[in-house]
Amino acid sequence: MKQASCRLSVCTSGRGLVEITGDISGWILEQSMENGLLTVFCQHTSASLVIQENADPSVLLDLNDFFERVVDDDPSLYRHRAEGADDMPAHIRSALTQSQLSIPVTSGRMVLGTWQGIYIFEHRTRSHERTLALHLVGA
């Protein structure tokens, strides 16, 4: 049994989804592990991770629109405003999604469906550098 870990930095350009499937796939290939389990962990409380369709960009636009409707940005609705008016809505959006993913690896590749990609979901309105912890256990 082998283990590998690293930190992956992702620059976002504000609220929205950034696909990171290729970056993670490349790192897995470098580890020379045929089979195992990958954990991807987002080290932030105002961004999250999702596995979502990566074939039709309108899916991502619809997800953004949905979260705009579900989580109001109106700062008068929230007590927590210390880091800006968009911070508490970002925390709520993050709570509705995921901070970590577990993905099987077979034959040196993530076992994702045909149309699935891994995304960091930025919930703040301005750009940020986000850090993800990757951990692979396998053989």
Domain chopping of the chain, boundaries: 2-138
Q: Looking at the chain, how many residues does it have?
A: 139
Are 87 and 45 in contact, with CB atoms under 8 Å apart? no
The per-residue pLDDT for range 76-119, each reduced to its tens digit, is 999 999 999 999 999 999 999 999 999 999 999 999 999 999 99
Helix runs in 3-139, H state only: 21-31, 57-70, 87-95
Contact 36, 85 (CB under 8 A): no
Q: Using one digit for the tens of pLDDT, what is the confidence trace for 35-54?
A: 999 999 999 999 999 999 99
One CATH from 3.40.50.10490, 3.40.50.2300, 3.20.10.10, 2.60.120.460 for 2-138: 2.60.120.460
Average pLDDT over residues 23-42: 98
Report pTM: 0.96
Confidence at residue 67, expressed as pLDDT on a 0 to 100 scale: 98
At residue 24's C-alpha, the angle toward residues 13 and 101, to 5°, is 85
